[in-house]
A and B are shown apart, each in its own frame.
Chain A
Amino acid sequence: MSVETLFALAACALVGIGLYGLIVQPHPLRKLVAFNVMGSGVFVLFGALAMRGAEAGMAADPVPQALLITAIVVAFAATSVTVALLLRLIESTDNASLADEPSAGD
């Protein structure tokens, strides 16, 4: 097995782990972290594909790598908007619940 296949398979697992956390964790901040793990899985998979395209004296295909840099920056922007939304939600409702009905604990 080559290095890029190893990382590609690990990336598949990361997507699964992130998806599980996104569904199971009730707290929105935990969901956000899990979503970032899932996204990073997609990035690593894409990076592994870039390395498979190594040719012409380059260690990896630069086109997907450049898109990855763009993707990481955009993921940060999306995360910061989500964090701001989340803090505003708590400020205006005093709880971080995403449930339709307030839970019994409230």
Chain B
Amino acid sequence: MEKKSVCEEKNFELIFDDCSESLRNIIYYKCGDLNLAEDIIQDAFVKLWKNCKKVVFYKAKSYLFTVANNNLLNHIAHKKVVLKYEQKPHTELNDQDPQFIIEEKEFMAKLKKAIDNLPEKQRETFLLSRIDKKSYKEIAEITGVSVKAIEKRIHYALVSLREKLGDIL
């Protein structure tokens, strides 16, 4: 195992580069509040810096996640989550008839709502995988659970989405 010290600024920045975005997203997927998510990860990184001697380099990611997660628990009494996304332009839609475009928009709205309604852990895992393109192993590393558990969460998230959207598919 590498013996990089988190206390060295270049190593600290390496960790930041590597995982600050996905951490921000995890917290965002959990709480649906972008500003809160960024505040929380900033605090987590500052705490990592303060405790840099106690944290081993390769454990830093899961440390950050744990700190951010605990911090989040202090903040919210589980409000209803409504996530917002940047949406990629739908190339196929450009030349379609207006009826189809409307149906497509409705579907997207329902899909988003269905995702919002997933249990928190399924939601964060599913989105980290599908949007952030993180491998199951990486997600397992960050959240500190087994790959198997991640696979189950993904599986059930998808089953759940399929059920909720069943009537319009």
Is chain B found bound to chain A in the same assembly? no
